[in-house]
Structure 1
Amino acid sequence: MGKITCTSHYYLTSYAGTAAELGRWVRGHWGIENGLHWVLDVVFREDRSRIREESAGANLAMVRRVAVSLLRRAPGKGSGLTKRLKAGWDDDYMLQVLQGITAPVVR
């Protein structure tokens, strides 16, 4: 306890800013990434998934990410887990969640 450790990380980039700016950018990126993985693990128990058949794991991972996005936009208060459970129990709420799907914009 009380032991101090240091690590070095190396990045190849064309970014012309300072090391401090790059550090903020990298930490911000990983904060978002880690937040998504935490939600997927807590709300959908992704780490416990044992799906290994061909591309089924990748397909289900994409469905989970879409579900996270829809649940974040869904009306009401509560955590993602609460909203997921409510959508499973209440068909009307499920329809509200699914109404978060918007048509793609073709330009």
Structure 2
Amino acid sequence: MQYRYYISSASLSAEEFASTVRAHWGIENRLHWVLDVTIREDNCPISRGHAADNLACFRHVALNQIRREKTIDASVNRKQKMATMSEEVLDLIVNA
């Protein structure tokens, strides 16, 4: 069994607190994990000035466009690969 400890000033019931924690991890798993694994955000060595923030914005836009494109039934990773091999797929994603 694993234990997790949280510190909060919020006055919540156990159910409300559990829901809040699950919502936080839902964001972590849905967004940050995809950025780390699929787009390899953590491997980017660029950190000068605002470059890291600017690239993060571009990555978010790219991820949102890939997810918006609904005509291709594929994962984010697969759509990304398909877009590198086909201008038609890239156009679908850009214009989603």
Q: Indicate whether the TM-score tops 0.5.
A: yes
Once residues 5 and 71 of structure 1 are traced to their aligned partners in structure 2, the CA distance between those partners, rounded to angstroms, is 36
Once residues 64 and 34 of structure 1 are traced to their aligned partners in structure 2, the CA distance between those partners, rounded to angstroms, is 16
Alignment size in residue pairs: 95
Report the TM-score when normalising by structure 1. Answer: 0.76
State the identity as a percent.
35
Deviation of residue 5 (structure 1)? 4.8
Report the TM-score when normalising by structure 2. Answer: 0.84
Structure number with greater Rg is 1
Once residues 30 and 21 of structure 2 are traced to their aligned partners in structure 1, the CA distance between those partners, rounded to angstroms, is 14
Deviation of residue 21 (structure 1)? 1.6
Establish whether residue 63 from structure 1 lines up as the match of residue 58 from structure 2. Answer: yes
Can you give the 5+ residue segments of structure 2 that lack an aligned partner in the other structure?
none
Once residues 60 and 80 of structure 2 are traced to their aligned partners in structure 1, the CA distance between those partners, rounded to angstroms, is 13
- Look up the SS of the partner of 1:53 in the other structure: coil
Residue by residue over 1:4-54, the C-alpha shift from the partner in whole angstroms, topping out at 9 and shown as x without a partner, is 4534212123x6x52212221221222222321111122111111101111
Once residues 24 and 12 of structure 1 are traced to their aligned partners in structure 2, the CA distance between those partners, rounded to angstroms, is 16
